[in-house]
């Protein structure tokens, strides 16, 4: 059995960021990932980064491509029917967000690993977690037909919503909170110029739609779909027709069509497992909480969890001080719940709910109308969108 300081399960943004931060602090760690390197590098996810996240990349010195290719956005738009409400985040908060795909960020972190001595073991099957309540926990897995076991001082469960870590924490916890939304998002990625210079989150008669981007030549769009909708029912033409109907009247440049690089449907969920620790196993990122994508908080929350956990590990390995580790759950949750609230409230504000009454629709329209004329409400939205401080 080999040994390390921290065994990290999962090479998503949480595991990769934590691995690099620990490595930079001279703390031995190994990342164990179920999927192949190619699979990890090809996943399409959101792409709006808060400064909490970009600051971590800068601290790591893995920000060169992000600074060059990322789009610094000073505002975004909420649309109600055919009215565009611009949230001027730069003027309201003095800050900005960076549009840079999670796919690109993941690539930067994976490619920087070898030169920094960060070990990532891909294609690790049947991972199991052992003895988390003892002083010497471990993980075992199968790779190339052999079983490998890594002993560690701590285990970081960065294995997403479907990974095994939360199942290990759960028996000690009844503190789980969930909200499933009665709709999903159908997304398309295409190499066409975005229809607008900044993101548009639109609510209309036909439900929610989002015009986003990856660059000035690559667009990402979503429309609200019913949970029973299947991808096969949506041809590319049908989706472009829908997007044109939603955005042609709202956007500066109009919707440009092109072949889909990717199309997929994802359900929307809010979820928090308040127990983020069992013994020497700590959860971070999607392993502990899910937000609906409205507001793009998922990756940024993973980054803030990791910032707290890394600092806690750093104090422990420097001086044996466990107070940061003991405080991790409460510290992380304080920020998690605020981001959950924001994502939930923006989801409620911008979507049509099946079966909602005309009164409820009027309430949403009134809230958007109020927002259009209220600097106070725009400021509240802007400061959540750019990200609450650590
Ligand atoms: N063994 C090893 N690795 C595993 C296992 C397992 N049994 N189960 C899951 N994993 C890996 C997944 O393959 C994935 O690479 O854990 C990783 C978890 O990554 P994410 O799901 O991306 O979660 P996280 O790193 O917390 O990132 C949160 O990024 O992926 C988005 O939607 C997510 O925006 C959110 C943010
Ligand atoms: C995206 O570009 O994929 C994106 C942007 C903003 C969101 C969600 C997704 O809120």
Pocket test for ligand 2, best of 53, 199, 261 (most atoms within 8 A of CB): 199
| Distance from Cα 62 to the centre of ligand 1, integer Å | 20
Task: Report the largest interatomic distance among the alpha carbons of the chain, rounded to a whole angstrom.
Answer: 64
Cα of 245 from ligand 1 centre, angstroms? 35
Per-residue confidence (pLDDT) for residue 348, from 0 to 100: 97
- The reported pTM is 0.97
2-72+96-178+269-347 maps to which CATH number? 3.50.50.60
163, 297, 308, 343, best to mutate for ligand 1 pocket (most atoms within 8 Å of CB)? 163
DSSP for 156-186?
EE--TTTSSHHHHHGGG---EEEEEEEEEEE
And the tokens for 136?
Answer: 């010497």
Contact, 202 vs 247, CB < 8 A? yes
Please provide residue 58's backbone torsions phi and psi, each rounded to the nearest 5 degrees: -65, -45
The radius of gyration of the chain from alpha carbons, rounded to an integer in Å, stands at 21
Could you give the angle at the alpha carbon of 88 between the alpha carbons of 268 and 205, nearest 5°?
A: 45
Residue 387 has pLDDT above 80, yes or no: yes
What ranges do the domains of the chain cover? 2-72+96-178+269-347, 181-268+352-386
Calpha distance 304→316 (Å, rounded):
19
Residue nearest to atom 1 of ligand 2 (CA): 46
Give the number of residues written for the chain.
390
Closest CA to 291 of 305, 280, 279, 281: 305
User: What is the rounded average pLDDT of the residues 120-145?
Assistant: 98
Share of the chain above pLDDT 70, in %: 99
Residue nearest to atom 4 of ligand 2 (CA): 46
- Assess whether pLDDT exceeds 70 at residue 284: yes
Q: Which residues contact 345 (CB under 8 A, 6 or more apart)?
A: none
For β-strands 218-225 and 260-273, DSSP reports them as unpaired
Structure tokens at 21: 């931060």
- pLDDT at residue 342, as a whole number: 98
Mean pLDDT of 73-80: 97
d(CA 390, CA 388) in angstroms, rounded, equals 7
Strands 29-32 and 2-9: parallel
State mean pLDDT over 241-253: 95
Considering every ligand atom, which ligand is closest to the CA of 266? 1
Instruction: Assess contact for 257 and 220: CB atoms under 8 A.
Output: no
pLDDT of 171 strictly over 90: no
* Residue 32 and residue 127 in contact, taking contact as beta carbons nearer than 8 Å: yes
pLDDT value of residue 173: 66
127-155 average pLDDT score: 97
Task: Write down the architecture of domain 181-268+352-386 according to CATH.
Answer: 2-Layer Sandwich (3.30)
Taking only the tens place, the pLDDT of each residue in 11-67 is 999 999 999 999 999 999 999 999 999 999 999 888 899 999 999 999 999 999 999
* pLDDT-based confidence at residue 205 (cuts at 50, 70, 90): confident
- The per-residue DSSP string of 233-272 comes to G--HHHHHHHHHHHHTTT-SS-PPP--EEEEEEEEEEEEE
To the nearest whole number, what is the mean pLDDT of the chain? 97
Percent of the chain with pLDDT over 90: 96
Give Cα separations from 373 to 74, 87, 366, 367, 379 (angstroms): 19, 11, 11, 10, 12
> Residue 320 C-alpha to ligand 2 middle, in angstroms?
40
> Would the CATH topology of 2-72+96-178+269-347 be identical to that of 181-268+352-386?
no
Ligand 2 residue neighbourhood (C-beta within 6 Å): 46-48, 199, 212, 220, 293-296
User: Which residues contact residue 223 at a Cβ distance below 8 angstroms, ignoring those fewer than 6 apart?
Assistant: 185, 186, 207, 208, 209, 210, 239, 242, 243, 246
Confidence of residue 1 (pLDDT cuts 50, 70, 90): confident
- Tell me the sheet residues that pair with 220: 189, 212
Q: What is the pLDDT of residues 258-279, one digit of tens each?
A: 999 999 999 999 999 999 999 9
């Amino acid at each position: 059995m080999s040994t390390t300081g921290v065994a990290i399960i999962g090479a998503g943004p949480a595991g990769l960021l934590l691995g690099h931060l620990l490595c930079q602090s001279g703390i031995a760690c190994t990342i164990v990932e179920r999927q192949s390197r190619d699979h990890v590098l090809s996943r399409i996810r959101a792409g709006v980064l808060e400064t909490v996240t970009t600051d971590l990349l800068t601290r790591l010195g893995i920000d060169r491509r992000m600074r060059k290719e990322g789009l610094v956005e000073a505002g975004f738009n909420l649309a109600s029917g055919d009215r565009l409400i611009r949230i001027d985040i730069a003027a309201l908060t003095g800050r900005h967000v960076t549009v840079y795909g999670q796919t690109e960020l993941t690539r930067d972190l994976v490619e920087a690993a070898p030169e920094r001595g960060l070990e990532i073991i891909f294609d690790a099957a049947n991972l199991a977690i052992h003895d988390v309540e003892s002083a010497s926990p471990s993980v075992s897995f199968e790779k190339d037909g052999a079983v490998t076991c890594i002993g560690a001082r701590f285990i970081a469960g960065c294995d997403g919503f479907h990974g095994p870590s939360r199942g290990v924490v759960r028996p000690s916890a009844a503190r789980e909170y969930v909200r499933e939304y009665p709709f999903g998002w159908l997304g398309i990625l295409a190499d066409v110029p975005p229809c607008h210079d900044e993101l548009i989150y639109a609510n209309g008669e036909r439900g929610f739609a989002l015009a986003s981007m990856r660059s000035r030549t690559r667009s990402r769009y979503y429309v609200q779909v019913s949970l029973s909708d299947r991808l096969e029912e949506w041809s590319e033409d049908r989706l472009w027709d829908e997007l044109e109907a939603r955005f042609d009247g709202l956007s500066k440049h109009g919707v440009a069509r092109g072949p889909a690089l990717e199309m997929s449907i994802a359900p929307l969920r809010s979820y928090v497992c308040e127990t983020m620790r069992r013994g020497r196993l700590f959860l971070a990122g999607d392993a502990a909480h899910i937000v609906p994508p409205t507001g793009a908080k998922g990756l940024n929350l993973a980054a803030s969890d990791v910032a707290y956990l890394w600092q806690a590990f750093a104090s422990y390995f420097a001086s044996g001080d466990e107070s940061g580790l003991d405080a991790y759950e409460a510290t992380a949750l304080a920020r998690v719940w605020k981001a959950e609230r924001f994502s939930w409230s923006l989801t409620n504000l911008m979507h049509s709910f099946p079966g909602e009454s005309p009164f409820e629709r009027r309430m949403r329209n009134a809230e958007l109308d109020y927002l259009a004329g209220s600097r106070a409400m725009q400021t509240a939205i802007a400061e959540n969108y750019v990200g609450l401080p650590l």
